[in-house]
Amino acid sequence: MRASTRLLRRLSSSSSPRSLRRLPFHPSPPPPSHPPPVPPLRTLTRALLPHLAGARFSTVPCSSIPSLRLGECGALGTPAIPVAEESEGEGEAEAVAARHDTDAYAAVELALDSVVKVFTVSSGPNYFLPWQNKAQRESMGSGFVISGRRIITNAHVVADHTFVLVRKHGSPTKYKAEVQAVGHECDLALLTVESEEFWEGMNSLDLGDIPFLQEAVAVVGYPQGGDNISVTKGVVSRVEPTQYAHGATQLMAIQIDAAINPGNSGGPAIMGDKVAGVAFQNLSGAENIGYIIPVPIIKRFISGVEESGKYSGFCTLGISCQATENIQIRDCFGMRPEMTGVLVSRINPLSDAYKILRKDDILLEFDGVPVANDGTVPFRNRERITFDHLVSMKKPEEIAVLKVLRDGKEHELTVTLRPLQPLVPVHQFDKLPSYYIFAGFVFIPLTQPYLHEFGDDWYNTSPRRLCERALRELPKKAGQQLVILSQVLHHFTISCFRFSWMILMLVMRGWLNCR
């Protein structure tokens, strides 16, 4: 994937404040002999809120419009400042403000005995020298208690961990925690603490549901800038599948405008008295765009761990699709006007769909849900998401019913879904890389973490041929790897060392082509 100026980051930075603009001022005419009583400032301010919320301010000064009297700005007789309506406007504004204050207070009360600070010491491998690790580093994050005496946090908070400590609010003591399960694709992890002292006075949080747009949420955690617990408020801006920066997967996420800073990762986003998601990343280069992992992804992760005792992964159909919004494409494949669907352009040989589907099939429905020409399906009230979300919510070895159009005829097919491994692994967290040394030549399997060693701009600085194959090529059989010659050790003969890069290219060409 090409790096861009707007990158998804697991830890964010604070946004710049919005600039303020003064409204135009006009001299008032002489006051009447008996002026009407002016409402109190607080009443007038609250009465303005409903009117100003939907107003759009113009940059054109009122002085450019001739013959305007006080109370006229663009239209004759239109008041520049709305009149206070104490009976309706004030009551509505006060109710909204009271509800927001109550939600924030309730979130703090819930979080005091549930949210913990996570301290991690980690050490990742050096992929250029795979027999040794990099220097240890310390990081901090957040987590919260759920039922069953478990703590949920982000996978990137405990990735490549050496040991993990947790500290509850109001306590100076840090307790040792064990990582029970880690799902790097969904960026979630479960921790357990054996100490009985830690669990005294701790309460678990209940998982809620996906919030609707503009619903208020409170993000609780331990961000940078202080040591005590922090609460930031925001509203839900968008719900759709998003690229997860840590696991490089496409899963559902909720976009909010609450501040998510370094240290917030793993903390809960609370709506009312339940958890609406887990804070995990933000969009760099943009203002007030943070993301939380929604409850369906959390429940899917937890249920998989409870059923199998370990992280089971998220299913994929194993196909690449093309939109059929072009009328010529629809006519070419015999789609009738009332039909909608997407064109199957590529199928993973390791998937069950490779035996069932064919290239150039039109996928019309997934489990009885019609697929639109752009690959989306209905979601809640007048919202749409890509049909990949329906696939990701399936459990491993579960059956899906597909309705396809093939050669002008409709067919109903069943496919078994399971997680699929790519030809080049996307991540290698929590395990050491494999390597083989022969006569001074160091051979390693190609992985994306190896390409990441070329720097932040690895897509452009790493070897182009390796990068293209890592991102686009599919495996032909299970367990297949691309093996490359990483380097030639310096103790080898000088002649071979001088020609190491030539040997590298020859060996790479032989290994990459003879598969």
Domains of the chain: 111-199 (2.40.10.10), 205-308 (2.40.10.10), 319-417 (2.30.42.10), 421-514 (3.20.190.20)
| Phi, psi (deg, nearest 5) at residue 197 | -65, -35
Tens-place pLDDT, residues 42-58: 333 333 333 333 433 33
Structure tokens that stand for 430 in this block:
């929590």
For the chain, give percent helix, strand, coil, nearest 5: 20, 30, 50
Amino acid sitting at position 290: G
91 in helix, strand or coil?
Answer: helix
DSSP string, 423-475: SS-S--TTSPPP-EEETTEEEEE--HHHHHTT-TTHHHHS-HHHHHHHHHPPP
Q: Are 461 and 413 in contact (CB under 8 A)?
A: no
Burial of 285 (0-12, 13-18, 19+ CB in 10 A): exposed
Tell me which of 142, 156, 160, 388 is the catalytic residue: 156
Query: How confident is the model at residue 273, as a pLDDT?
Result: 85
Tens-place pLDDT, residues 146-190: 999 999 999 999 999 999 999 998 889 999 999 999 999 999 999
Query: How confident is the model at residue 140, as a pLDDT?
Result: 93
Tens-place pLDDT, residues 438-483: 888 889 999 999 999 998 889 889 888 889 888 888 998 888 889 9
User: Is 392 annotated as catalytic?
Assistant: no
Query: How confident is the model at residue 79, as a pLDDT?
Result: 40
Tens-place pLDDT, residues 71-103: 333 333 334 334 344 445 455 555 545 555 555
Q: From CA 329, how far away is CA 493, in angstroms rounded?
A: 60
Q: Are 187 and 293 in contact (CB under 8 A)?
A: yes
Higher pLDDT, 50 or 504: 504
| Phi, psi (deg, nearest 5) at residue 276 | -100, -15
Q: From CA 440, how far away is CA 370, in angstroms rounded?
A: 58
Structure tokens that stand for 427 in this block:
């991540």
Structure tokens that stand for 106 in this block:
């309730």
Tell me which of 12, 122, 139, 265 is the catalytic residue: 265
Residue 345 CB neighbour total at 10 angstroms: 12
Query: How confident is the model at residue 100, as a pLDDT?
Result: 55
Q: Which of 290, 185, 323, 297 is nearest to 244 (CA)?
A: 185
Tell me which of 12, 103, 139, 187 is the catalytic residue: 187
Query: How confident is the model at residue 20, as a pLDDT?
Result: 34
Instruction: Compute CA distances 34 → 37, 38, 84, 424, whole Å.
Output: 9, 12, 19, 83
For tokens 């890069």, the residue is: 501
Query: How confident is the model at residue 288, as a pLDDT?
Result: 81
Report residue 9's pLDDT band, with 50, 70 and 90 as the boundaries.
Answer: low
What share of the chain has pLDDT > 90, as a percent?
51
User: Is 156 annotated as catalytic?
Assistant: yes
Q: Which of 374, 387, 369, 372 is nearest to 323 (CA)?
A: 374
User: Is 187 annotated as catalytic?
Assistant: yes
410 in helix, strand or coil?
Answer: strand
